[in-house]
Structures are given as structure tokens and as C-alpha cells.
Amino acid sequence: MLYPIVTFIGAGNMASAIFKGLIKQGHPADRIRVSNRSQGKLDALKQEFPTLHVSTNNAEAVADADVVVLAVKPQMMEDMLKPLTTEVAGFDQKLFVSVAAGISIARLQSMLNGAKRIVRTMPNTPSLIGLGMTGLFAQIDTSDADKNLADSLMAAVGKTAWVSQEAEINQVIAAAGSSPAYFFMFMNAMQKSLEGMGMDSQTARKLVEQAAIGSSQLAAHQSDKTLTELTQQVTSKGGTTAQAVATFENGDLAGLVDQAMQACVARAEEMEKLL
Ligand SMILES: NC(=O)C1=CN([C@@H]2O[C@H](COP(=O)(O)OP(=O)(O)OC[C@H]3O[C@@H](n4cnc5c(N)ncnc54)[C@H](OP(=O)(O)O)[C@@H]3O)[C@@H](O)[C@H]2O)C=CC1
Ligand SMILES: O=C(O)[C@@H]1CCC=N1
């Protein structure tokens, strides 16, 4: 099988989670190019993957790309793309996969001089270990071949879900792109509580980590049960869990989570207007 040449512009947190994940899944490193503004990250990558093509020159990195993954911060996208539209022959004919929050396809199209082959995605950092969750959206006139190529890249590092309305990508951000941070915060709060009770941090981290892994795996294995049913399975009447659950309910955990998710979506919508 001949793997497509994939160029990542930006070698930050999200891009590196995806391309390292791809390499782990068998995509040959010599068919991946990574360009980044500063040299330091590239030097480290070259050490880790000697056959990876790295460059601080975006135009050079995209020249032979089949797919260009746009992975710079949203605020930097326009300045990053502008020179490429004139410097790189046939640039607007390539397939672009954007991972950026808050930049619509219409906006990308205008930044890309009218390019037509664009898939907007919202991945997350667990892609690094093959457990990513990516939402994808493409306009109606995007070819199946382009959709399949974008899907296969993201499916190599986790699960994928297509949304039929572009606005839903902002909900994917709340559910998957940003949500690893929520889970880490929850785990961290548990760890800190245990430490406050006197437990050493290593043991506290191990307990929290394994309980989180076990719970998420159990939910995935028993997807026929609702999350409320899974909660009830743990909660003995008059027992310990009931006290913790009541504390969360009294503090309106669900309301707070809803507020956080809404704030996330609202910020994505606001970014779409600003950028
Ligand atoms: N982090 C996450 O969990 C997720 C992020 N995203 C999206 O991914 C994108 C990147 O975010 P993230 O990885 O967190 O950000 P990072 O800041 O970690 O990475 C951005 C990278 O882009 C590089 N860069 C900036 N300007 C240029 C340029 N002109 N040419 C080449 N490289 C450039 C930066 O280089 P330098 O080393 O010089 O700073 C940096 O390494 C964003 O659009 C974000 O919305 C989407 C889903 C999840
Ligand atoms: O915080 C952000 O804007 C990006 C998008 C999703 C995760 N990180």
C-alpha cells in the first residue's frame, strides 16, 4: 500500500499527537513532512524519527504533499497561509485538513484563495495513543475520495464521527476536542483530595488513573447501559458512593458541566466571527 504524503504545518501539541499516532500505526515517517516556525521542536522530532522530513520552510514542506494538515493556532492561520497561496505551484489543488477551532470552511476557502478540497476536523490529543476522537465535516460537493482520505488519517489514530452541519463541529469541540482537559481536571481534583487526606502522590495518581481507565473502558464495553445505570451499579443504598453522588448533585455538577460545555461552544462561535 502506498501511503499518502501528509504535511503537517505546525508541530505543536495537536499535530504531534496525530503524526506520532500515525507513525505508531504504521504510516511510514518518510511519507510525513512536518514544518514548524521554530527549529527546536523539529530537532527533537528528527532525533525521535530520523526519516521524518522536517523543515521551517512551509512552502518546501507542502510542495509534494497529497494532504496538508493545518495545525497552527487559529489566530495564526491567515498569516501562515498567505505566502503559500502564491509561492507553491498548485497549492490550491491540494486536500486540506484543518484541525483549527473556530475557523469555518468558508473562511478557510477565502484564506486558501478559493481552494475547494477542504475537510474541517476536530480531533483530540489522545490520538497520540490511538484513542483519539475526531469529528469531521465537509461541504456537500467534497468528493468521497477526499472524505475517505481525511477519515482514514484520523481513523488511524482513533474513532471518527462525521457531522452533517458545520455548526455541530463546535459541539464536537466541547465533547471531544477540549474534553480531555475536563477529565484531567476531575482526576487532578481527586488526586489532590487524596493527597490532602495524607496519601502519597504516586499512589493517589495510580488509583485515580486506573479507576478512570477502568470506568471509561467499562462504559465502552457496556454501551447498552446508560451512564445513569452504570452509576447506579456502583451506588449501594445507604453506602459510600451515595454520599459522594449526593455531594455532586447538591453542588449541581451536571449544571456546572453544562455551563462549561456551553461556554466552550460559545467561544468557538465567537472565534468564528473574529477570525
Ligand atoms: N491542543 C489540542 O488539544 C487541540 C488543538 N486543536 C487545534 O490545533 C491547532 C494547534 O493547536 P495546538 O497544537 O494546541 O497549538 P501549539 O501552540 O501547541 O502548536 C502550534 C504550532 O504551530 C507552529 N506555528 C505557528 N506559526 C507557524 C507558521 N507560520 N508556520 C509553521 N508553524 C507555525 C508553532 O510553532 P512554535 O514552536 O514556534 O510555537 C507551534 O509549534 C489549533 O488550531 C487548535 O485549535 C484542535 C483540537 C485539540
Ligand atoms: O483550546 C482550544 O482552543 C483547542 C481546541 C480544542 C482543544 N484545544
How many angstroms does the Cα of residue 144 sit away from the middle of ligand 1?
Answer: 28
CA-to-CA distance for 234 and 130, rounded, in angstroms? 29
Grid coordinates of 275: 477570525
Cβ(92)–Cβ(112) under 8 Å?
yes
| Average pLDDT score over residue span 8-27 | 96
Q: What percentage of the chain reaches a pLDDT higher than 90?
A: 99
Interval 126-182: pLDDT, tens? 999 999 999 999 999 999 999 999 999 999 999 999 999 999 999 999 999 999 999
Per DSSP, 39 falls in state S
User: Could you tell me where in the chain the CATH 1.10.3730.10 domains are found?
Assistant: 179-272
246: cell is 449526593
The CA-atom distances, in angstroms, between 35 and each of 13, 57, 70, 77, 149 are 13, 6, 10, 14, 21
Phi and psi, residue 207, nearest 5°: -60, -45
Q: Which ligand is nearest to the CA of 123?
A: 1
Beta pairing class for 132-137 and 118-122: antiparallel
Q: At what angle do helices 227-234 and 201-221 cross, to 10 degrees?
A: 130
Q: What is the DSSP string of 77-98?
A: HHHHHHHHHHHSTTGGGSEEEE
Q: What pLDDT score does 219 carry? A: 98
User: What region does 72 belong to: left with phi over 0, alpha with psi -120 to 50, or beta?
Assistant: beta
> pLDDT per residue over 205-221, tens digit each?
999 999 999 999 999 99
Cα dihedral sign for 186, 187, 192, 194? positive
The predicted pLDDT at position 275 comes to 86
Domain ranges in the chain with CATH number 3.40.50.720: 6-165
**117: three-class secondary structure by DSSP:** coil
Answer yes or no: CATH 3.30.479.30 is held by domain 6-165.
no
Beta bridge partners of 254: none
**Whole-prediction pTM:** 0.96
Does residue 198 come out as left (phi exceeding 0), alpha (psi in the -120 to 50 range) or beta? left
Question: Residue positions in the annotated binding site for NADPH?
Answer: 58
Report which bound ligand comes closest to the CA of 70: 1
Nearest to 8 by CA among 78, 61, 48: 61
* Ligand 2 within 6 A of CB of 98: no
Q: Return d(Cα 58, Cα 36) in angstroms, integer.
A: 7
Ligand 2 site, residue 103, Cβ cutoff 6 A: no
- The whole-number pLDDT of residue 183 equals 98
pLDDT digit string, tens, across residues 215-245? 999 999 999 999 999 999 999 999 999 999 9
| Residue from 7, 8, 13, 97 whose mutation best tests the ligand 1 pocket (most atoms within 8 A of CB) | 13
Q: Of 180, 179, 183, 236, whose CA–CA distance to 211 is shortest?
A: 183
Residue of minimum CA distance from atom 5 in ligand 2: 101
Binding-site residue ranges: 9-14, 58, 71-74
Which CATH number does the domain 179-272 belong to among 1.10.10.10, 3.40.640.10, 1.10.10.60, 1.10.3730.10?
A: 1.10.3730.10
